[in-house]
């Protein structure tokens, strides 16, 4: 479905760049079919130089040429950008609008763009840059299954992609979109333990990162409950259960779960 579709990436910051770079890296979308925009000429030039895609400050021109428009601006900028696209009639050809903005509902975007505009919300994360992303998509009121399929095809080139109801999007934001930052802190902290025991920092970090990758793959490929996998590595009276008890003393489970809950609550406020 992506074949020969022009894609406009409106907003070329961290996520716009990540999505454009990920699409190119997948080989499914050619640089000539991506038109990106930024607010400033400097950002636009930087992206054009980095990725070899056309990048301007003209949202309407990029949108007019595209079958799929991916809004990648900050939540506070969505209203202004959407109003600009509406007032310039840049969506008169009926493209699919994908929005990755945290806390901004599809209903809000539809209310600006016009009631028949197909909108799909998506919540990707930064590992999309290396093809290991996790994206959740949710259908707006006028989007069809075919629109969702196009969105899923785009984000599947950047990693895994599933569809959920829109009511879950703030939770998804606090979990899989904010989550990489939580995991980086855990990786850094575990590496500190290795450094404390005498390992060089770069060695400790490599050990932890590869271990994290392996543990995540075990969860995904075995389909086992994480608790069962944990039990598999805890020998009675062994070192792993000793480490687990230290984690439990630090209330690691409730602290991590509350981090997701707190991030999700804040995500829900971002578009207001």
Identify residues 150-209 at the interface with ligand NAP (CB under 6 A): 177
Q: Which residue is nearest to ligand NAP (CB)?
A: 13
**Other residues' Cβ atoms within 10 Å of the Cβ of residue 160:** 16
What's the sign of the alpha-carbon dihedral 249, 252, 257, 259?
Answer: positive
Q: How many Å is the Cα radius of gyration of the chain?
A: 21
Q: Which of 7, 8, 9, 15 binds ligand NAP (CB under 6 A)?
A: 15
Q: Which of 95, 124, 127, 133 binds ligand NAP (CB under 6 A)?
A: 124
Q: Which of 19, 43, 140, 204 binds ligand NAP (CB under 6 A)?
A: 43
Q: Is 102 exposed, middle or buried (0-12, 13-18, 19+ CB in 10 A)?
A: buried
By CB under 6 A, residue 21 contacts ligand NAP:
no
In residues, how long is the chain?
272
By CB under 6 A, residue 118 contacts ligand NAP:
no
By CB under 6 A, residue 38 contacts ligand NAP:
yes
CB of 32 to ligand NAP, least distance (A): 21
SS3 221: helix
SS3 150: helix
Q: Which of 54, 59, 157, 171 binds ligand NAP (CB under 6 A)?
A: 59
Q: How far apart are CA 209 and CA 86, in angstroms?
A: 45
Comparing CB distances to ligand NAP, the nearer of 106 and 204 is 106
Q: How far apart are CA 46 and CA 136, in angstroms?
A: 29
Residues that bind ligand NAP (CB under 6 A): 10-16, 37-40, 43, 59, 72-75, 77, 80-81, 100-102, 123-126, 177
């Amino acid at each position: 479905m992506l074949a020969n579709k022009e894609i406009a990436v409106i907003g070329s910051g961290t996520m716009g760049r990540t999505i454009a770079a990920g699409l190119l890296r997948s080989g499914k979308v050619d640089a000539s079919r991506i038109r990106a925009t930024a607010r400033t000429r400097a950002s636009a030039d930087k992206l054009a130089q980095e990725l070899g895609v056309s990048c301007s400050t003209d949202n309407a021109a990029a949108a007019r040429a595209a079958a799929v428009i991916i809004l990648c601006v900050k939540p506070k900028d969505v209203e202004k950008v959407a109003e600009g696209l509406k007032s310039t009639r840049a969506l008169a050809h009926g493209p699919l609008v994908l929005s990755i903005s945290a806390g901004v509902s599809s209903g809000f975007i539809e209310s600006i763009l016009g009631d028949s505009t197909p909108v799909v919300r998506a919540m990707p994360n930064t590992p999309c840059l290396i093809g290991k992303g996790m994206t959740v998509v949710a259908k707006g009121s006028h989007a069809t299954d075919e629109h969702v399929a196009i969105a899923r095809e785009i984000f599947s080139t950047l990693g895994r992609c599933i569809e959920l109801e829109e009511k879950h999007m703030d939770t998804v934001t606090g979990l899989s979109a904010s989550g990489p930052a939580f995991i980086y802190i855990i990786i850094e902290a575990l590496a500190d333990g290795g450094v404390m025991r005498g390992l060089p920092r770069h060695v400790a970090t490599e050990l932890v990162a590869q271990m994290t990758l392996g543990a995540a793959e075990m969860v995904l490929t075995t389909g086992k409950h994480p608790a069962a996998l944990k039990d598999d590595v805890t020998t009675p009276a062994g070192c792993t259960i000793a480490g687990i008890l230290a984690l439990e003393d630090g209330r690691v489970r409730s602290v991590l779960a509350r981090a997701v809950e707190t991030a999700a609550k804040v995500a829900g406020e971002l578009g207001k």
